[in-house]
Structure 1
Amino acid sequence: MAVLSSSSSHGLLRLHHPPLRLLAAVTTATSSSSYSIPHVRLRLAITTSRLPSPISSSSDPPPDVAHDDEHEEAHHKEERDERYGFEIQVRKLPKRNRRLVRARVSVDAPLEAVWATLTDYEGLAGFIPGLSECRLLDQADSFARLYQVGEQDLALGFKFNAKGTIDCYEGEMQLLPAGARRREIAFNMIDGDFKVFEGKWSVQEVDGGEKSADQEFQTALSYVVELEPKLWVPVRLLEGRICNEIKTNLVSIREEAQRIQRLQDKVIVNKGVAQFLFQHARVN
């Protein structure tokens, strides 16, 4: 997933966190990236925010979207990478040149650590490879406006670029059945290289956030975006690169959140050892 970065005051993740800039390096690509892009400076970047216009949690396209090309075959792709607990789905919507992308990655860190990383908007560009710039233009309670620029080197010295201004809306913590918790960020590009670019980030605990002996992950980080390029470039030519960016973003956020959590755990352990030694010294 690509991300347009931004900054936030939420701690725990420096990430100078990606407003979910969300992006970590991933090993496998999910869509074919063999398409060659002409001399187009269209850089893919993605941001997090709360969906102003609701995006259905269903994989089906909105019922009110008219079929612009009834002769084009149904388009649906799905890829998985078990190394990261990663999966991605791409669905062609009835409206011409529009796609709905859903992705998910498992994270061995608590919800708070993932959320902190995701909302460290100004720090996103620091750990997401394809995000060259992320500026926090405005911020209020549960709201952030970001300007992001994504850039990736292509063959023959060309650049694949995308830029945009994105509004992000941070939702309240939700309590789910079985004691699990979830929190989301809806986002919408209000100006940039896409005619439509909106969706949401979701951070949800697995089994109430308590990790059992046979459980590898504590949290699931999900991303959904509906997009349509503004330029003449057919979205099918960008599809593979967009999917690669999304995967990189998600994996990058995952790695940063886990790194932050390891540092915090180390501090807690060292503090506990210091207290024990101090008390033992007093007794003796």
Structure 2
Amino acid sequence: MNVLRCSQQAGFSGRTMEGALVPWRQRHAAQRSAATKVQAISDVRIEVEKTSWTSRRIFASILVATPKSIVWSALTDYDNLGSIVPSIVENRCLERTDNSALVYQVGAQDVALGVKFSAAVSLRCTEFPNGGVPPNLLTVPPPGLFNNGNGGNSPGSSGSTSDGNNWEVAAAMETLFPYPLTSVAGVLPSDISFELVEGDFKDFRGVWRLQQIGDSSTLLSYAVYVKPQAWLPVALVQSRIANEVVRNLEALRQYAETQYAREFQQQKQLGAVH
């Protein structure tokens, strides 16, 4: 599942957002692997972590100038994701329950020298609107992330370990959802997890995290663990995948903000707002 800017009017300036993230960056800069590549592309913050020769973890976030409900509606509109997310060339919702969906998607990217890589996947998407993915299903974030007294969805000890046992950490990456490192501690999350059922990757699992920031702003975070098939070296596609993540986040923001503006105008015409 491939797939923010905030106005002063929304009550949450870019400077304030930056200030909220600076302590997190300072606490964990020394603990992150030297293989982690941190970039700020457009309004999207993105990190690419080399987890092995054959796999990567990607973390990204963007601020959307809408309430969380607008972004949630866009991400859970599984039938129409193909019209929102630019890298999806085919999209079908195969089944739907109250809190989950099975989605078939085909994504296409230019790899190099005009070569286009196309991958088809079936993903199980599960919704956690009140509090996020259970801690025992997430990898453990860097130590200290929750030592700020703010509470939040703090992972327990049943996930990966931070005691230096590389084997356990590697095993956790293969079985657990990546913790959204670009999210903010202490703010109640609403999550959508997704994991590979079948398709053209060996492993593909991740989390969309939505956090309400102020009255009408949402921090949208994305975390994914990706392991291509052996015939496609991950080093060849990692930058392309990262670029697609940026494009998709920007497209989601634009869609959500357009929907929010349209709803606002409709309510204004009906006299519901002044």
Report the TM-score when normalising by structure 2: 0.66
Is 2:111–2:240's contact at 8 Å kept on the other side of the alignment? no
Corresponding residue of 1:77: 37
Instruction: Say if 2:49 is the partner of 1:91.
Output: yes
Distance in 1 (CA, whole Å) between partners of 2:187 and 2:230 is: 42
Distance in 2 (CA, whole Å) between partners of 1:92 and 1:154 is: 19
Is 2:111–2:237's contact at 8 Å kept on the other side of the alignment? no
Is 2:53–2:234's contact at 8 Å kept on the other side of the alignment? no
The verdict on how the C-alpha distance between 1:233 and 1:90 changes in structure 2, with shifts beyond 3 A counting, is same
Corresponding residue of 1:223: 222
Cα displacement (A) at 1:182 = 2.1
Corresponding residue of 1:210: 215
Q: How many pairs does the alignment contain?
A: 199
Cα displacement (A) at 1:127 = 2.4
CA RMSD of aligned residues (A): 2.8
Corresponding residue of 1:189: 196
The verdict on how the C-alpha distance between 1:177 and 1:90 changes in structure 2, with shifts beyond 3 A counting, is same
Alignment of 1:140-155 (within 5 A): 140-153=97-110
Cα displacement (A) at 1:181 = 3.8
Structure 1 gaps of 5+ residues are 4-21, 23-57, 62-72, 212-217, 277-284
Runs of 4+, deviation exceeding 3 Å: 58-61, 152-158, 175-181
Say which is worse superposed, 237-246 or 175-184, in terms of deviation. 175-184
Identity %: 34
Instruction: Say if 2:269 is the partner of 1:270.
Output: yes
Show CA shifts across 1:10-69 (max 9, x none): xxxxxxxxxxxx3xxxxxxxxxxxxxxxxxxxxxxxxxxxxxxxxxxx9989xxxxxxxx
Corresponding residue of 1:122: 79
Instruction: Say if 2:249 is the partner of 1:250.
Output: yes
Q: SS of the residue aligned with 1:128? A: coil
Instruction: Say if 2:93 is the partner of 1:136.
Output: yes
Show CA shifts across 1:227-250 (max 9, x none): 110142211111110001111111
Amino acid at match of 1:102: F
Amino acid at match of 1:115: W
Which structure would you say has the larger RCO, counting Cα contacts within 8 Å and 6 or more residues apart? 1
Cα displacement (A) at 1:141 = 1.7
Distance in 1 (CA, whole Å) between partners of 2:49 and 2:221 is: 16
Report the TM-score when normalising by structure 1: 0.63
Q: SS of the residue aligned with 2:271? A: helix
Structure 2 gaps of 5+ residues are 4-27, 133-149, 153-185
Q: SS of the residue aligned with 1:188? A: strand
Is 2:64–2:253's contact at 8 Å kept on the other side of the alignment? yes
Show CA shifts across 1:177-196 (max 9, x none): 69954200011011111111
The verdict on how the C-alpha distance between 1:159 and 1:133 changes in structure 2, with shifts beyond 3 A counting, is same
Distance in 2 (CA, whole Å) between partners of 1:254 and 1:196 is: 27
Based on CA coordinates, which of the two structures has the bigger radius of gyration?
Answer: 1
Is 2:103–2:122's contact at 8 Å kept on the other side of the alignment? yes
Distance in 2 (CA, whole Å) between partners of 1:105 and 1:155 is: 27
Distance in 1 (CA, whole Å) between partners of 2:59 and 2:111 is: 25
Is 2:193–2:207's contact at 8 Å kept on the other side of the alignment? yes
Amino acid at match of 2:85: I
Corresponding residue of 1:34: none
